Amino acid sequence: MEYGPGPKWQNLQSSPAQNQISASSLPLSSVPLLIFRSSTATSMALTDSPLYQSTASLQLSSSPHGKSPYSSAKLSPLTFFPSSLSERKSCPQRKLVIVCKKVSGLQEAMRMRRERELQSTKKIRRRPPLRRGKVSPRLPVPDYIPRPPYVGLPMLPELAKEYQIHDSEGIAQMRAACELAARVLDYAGTLVRPSVTTDEIDKAVHQMIIEAGAYPSPLGYGGFPKSVCTSVNECMCHGIPDSRQLQDGDIINIDVTVYLNGYHGDTSKTFLCGNVSEPLKRLVKVTEECMERGIAVCKDGASFKKIGKRISEHAEKYGFGVVERFVGHGVGTIFHSEPIIYHHSNEEPGCMVEGQTFTIEPILTMGSIECRTWPDNWTTVTADGGPAAQFEHTILITRTGAEILTKY
């Protein structure tokens, strides 16, 4: 589910402070070597070492030739000092005094790993960018199958404020809806192979849901034209099935939600198509692990912010970004409701309650976490064209933990 401004709302404008570039955000290749000179020796050090930030304040002392013009200047980390032999010979002997702020070695190591992953994104993009294929007409649903209330409405429903907390009967209905969603997703995964179109996957999923007496929840939700979301490669989420054939080496997220006996079951998984590269396999594996770590902290009384903390810690360890724009949500008799589940580090209030159901569905990227939406107002892709992966489960909060209702 999308949180805040998105393809159907005005985008928020960045504040001037967000547009400023800090030294710590610069690529490692942009940070120069500083030459530390003294009367006895010359030494070199990276301004951005594992223990020190590159926001150093430097001051030059007086030289034998009089006061240095730089003696009272605060030097930017981008200031270059003479490095060639001829330049060094022509420079007077100066002594540098450097004052640095100590930071966590782990924090710095994680930032450096993230920089390397961002650089490697270009190497992964060897195939042409995703292009929209032909979208076939909407599939019919028999009249005897109950529809969710939003079907036929021209706009997206508002996010419901009430939490989805169930009694024993409601829990039984949720288990049934989620079990069906898991079976449908498992079947959809068997169809993933080169040359198969996402439209063919949609038709097969639609038929299986209808035969089970359920309604495909995405169909008609805010005008969505298909029964399942299929998001390939750089598509973060909400991809519309079409005539594009899957290619060897693709990754594809299939997002299935069914509406059975008045309850929604929601789940998704990223599948590998053919021979997938090792970096993409790692992205998919870590994304699933992030979801599992988020689920592991859930129980009655636990704070929601623990989910984002665990997910972001694990993603950062491998240098992947966690998309902030899309969030988990309450699910039950209503498709999307409170609480909003953030997958990134946050300080949002709120605690889990026994009997409550909601989704955890992190999206990880190999490059930028920024995104753009196609003119269809649904398909959302990474801004830099880097690959993205997503996994999702609907869970039930219990007194001692969480029950995965959509277990694969």
Does the annotation place 324 within a ligand binding site? no
Distances (CA, A) of 343 to 20, 138, 268, 299, 362: 25, 33, 16, 17, 6
Query: Taking the model in full, what pTM does it have?
Result: 0.73
Does the annotation place 329 within a ligand binding site? yes
Does the annotation place 115 within a ligand binding site? no
Distances (CA, A) of 76 to 12, 22, 31, 169: 31, 11, 10, 65
Give me the residue label for tokens 């009967």.
Answer: 169
pLDDT in tens, 208-244: 999 999 999 999 999 999 999 999 999 999 999 999 9
Does the annotation place 344 within a ligand binding site? no
pLDDT at 1: 77
Does the annotation place 266 within a ligand binding site? yes
Distances (CA, A) of 88 to 35, 58, 91, 94, 110: 10, 19, 5, 11, 35
Domain 144-404: CATH superfamily is: Creatinase/methionine aminopeptidase superfamily (3.90.230.10)
Does the annotation place 250 within a ligand binding site? no
The answer to whether 224 touches 157, Cβ cutoff 8 Å, is: no
Domain ranges in the chain are: 23-103, 144-404
Instruction: Classify strands 263-272 and 42-46 as parallel, antiparallel or unpaired.
Output: unpaired
Distances (CA, A) of 234 to 45, 118, 293: 38, 14, 24
pLDDT at 124: 55
pLDDT at 2: 73
pLDDT in tens, 332-362: 999 999 999 999 999 999 999 999 999 999 9
The low-confidence residues of the chain, meaning pLDDT below 50, are 5-103
Element (DSSP H or E) covering residue 309: helix 305-317
pLDDT at 160: 96
Among 390, 392, 370, smallest CA distance to 381 is for: 370
How many Å apart are CA 311 and CA 320, to the nearest integer? 11
Does the annotation place 166 within a ligand binding site? no
Instruction: Classify strands 33-37 and 388-390 as parallel, antiparallel or unpaired.
Output: unpaired
